[in-house]
Amino acid sequence: MTKKIIVLCGGFSDEKEISMKSSSAISAALLENNYKVELVNPSDFHSYSELLGYLKMKKPYIVFNGLHGAEGEDGRIQSLLSLESIPFTGTKHTGSAIAMNKYVSTLIAEALKIPCPRQVLLTNNKQLSEQEIEYLQLPFIVKPNSNGSSVGVSIISKPEQVEKAVLEAYKHDDMVLCQEFIPGREITVSIFGDKTLPIVEIVPKEGFYDFNNKYTKGNTEYICPADFSQQDAELVKKYAKTIFSACSCSVYGRVDFRYNGKDFYFLEINTLPGMTELSLTPMSAKAVGISFNELIKEIINLSLQD
């Protein structure tokens, strides 16, 4: 009998539109892998209790989590599915919660001696003090502590830009992370099972890798595999595997870094990386001969073993 998979899509986060694109691509791959597929959007239900009741009634072989951002990626939906013994793809609830909290994951990276930018965490609608601005040094980054797809992110080059940028970040989260800007190259390392995939370098044609440059075709150049010496490539891949494991992440994900020509600086972990035509994990997998269909199928196999 053909196995049925439910793909969670959309949801409530700032990234719901990207989730719909990822879920559409995931569904197409599942159909080509001869699964029965049903797309389910949590926002179509009155409560999580109703959603869980529906999933239990459907008894899927597995739930493929195609959500992105808060509520889909921060451990909440993972906890609920685990409590009901409903199998699902990707990192479990503990790792999801840790990875979604950029400040916490950075503290873990620092404890592991992985270089990280200087940072200040703001809460309770507080603004940066003059001393904190001096500590961070211009330019620096202001972003929501628990969000993705570069939503609400600003680069600060002048002190008068700070207040507006912090207020914008607070619209997306009740904690705001301000980090030293690391000049140089932006890269990402995808984790797939116990392997690291080829490094992708991200080169926006203008500005930085914001929401528009991420999801507008032609705005950003991607180099895969990125041009690094074998020694440097091995080092950043080691960093990626170390922090991914230390944060209780598993199955698949992406770890982002900045490289200033001397050191690799850890930025964040993505436990549910995008699965669109412009997404980096499928690009990295393709570079070693893993097709999108094979990637999706193996994510299911790895998740069931985890």
Q: Which residues are identified as catalytic? A: 15, 149, 215, 254, 256, 268, 270, 274
Sign of CA dihedral 107, 148, 88, 85: positive
Distance CA 255, CA 263 (A): 15
Q: Are 78 and 88 in contact (CB under 8 A)?
A: yes
Q: Are 137 and 130 in contact (CB under 8 A)?
A: no
Sign of CA dihedral 108, 14, 39, 77: positive
Q: How many Cα atoms within 13 Å fall on the side-chain side of residue 35?
A: 23
Q: Which residues of 111-124 are buried (b: 16+ CB within 10 A; e: fewer)?
A: eeebbbbebbbbee
Q: Are 150 and 14 in contact (CB under 8 A)?
A: no
Closest CA to 197 of 227, 239, 225: 225
